């Protein structure tokens, strides 16, 4: 009983010391930064100080995370945006669109790699072709069908076949 209380007290003290150390270091770097002089012609080198470089990297990571989250949850306004999302989805899954491939050829290659998803690929590719090459404005129903198809492609159940494609890519025909 007393050993558990002593261990808890010791861990609490270690945690308090760690927090105190972080606060003191933060205060030290803040004072050092506020009291330092910089010439007007010299730019601040963020990589010179390891703490500043670390903060820059973490802030860039957080910004990219916020952007990725915003992209994942926004609603697509056109079939072109849905097709661009399909290309990103394919690139992350090991099926990068080749520069000479038409959207139909890319869709056929994706259908060959993931045959269970043939209807979803077909809906998105056909909507894109009609909007871009047919120069037609898609109705809300067709656009909703393409959005739903893209949502089905993002389901976590499909991560395993995509991971398999990353490690065992399809052979080029």
Band of pLDDT at residue 49, cut at 50, 70 and 90: confident
Q: What is the mean pLDDT of the chain?
A: 82
Query: pLDDT tens across 150-169, in order?
Result: 888 887 777 777 777 777 66
pTM of the model: 0.57
Q: Distance (Å, rounded) from C-alpha 143 to C-alpha 97?
A: 22
Give the start-to-end residue ranges of the domains of the chain: 79-167
């Amino acid at each position: 009983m007393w050993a558990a209380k002593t261990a808890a007290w010791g861990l609490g003290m270690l945690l308090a010391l760690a927090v105190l150390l972080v606060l003191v270091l933060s205060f030290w770097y803040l004072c050092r930064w506020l009291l330092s002089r910089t010439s007007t012609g010299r730019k601040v080198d963020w990589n010179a100080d390891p703490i500043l470089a670390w903060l820059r990297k973490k802030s860039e990571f957080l910004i990219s995370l916020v952007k990725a989250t915003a992209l994942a949850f926004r609603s697509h306004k056109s079939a072109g945006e849905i097709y661009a999302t399909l290309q990103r989805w394919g690139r992350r899954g090991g099926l990068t669109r080749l520069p000479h491939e038409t959207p139909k050829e890319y869709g056929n290659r994706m259908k060959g790699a993931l045959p269970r998803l043939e209807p979803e690929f077909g809906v998105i590719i056909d909507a894109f072709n009609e909007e871009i090459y047919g120069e037609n404005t898609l109705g809300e129903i067709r656009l909703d069908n393409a959005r739903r198809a893209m949502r089905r492609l993002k389901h976590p159940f499909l991560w395993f076949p995509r991971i398999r494609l990353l490690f065992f890519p399809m052979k080029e025909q």
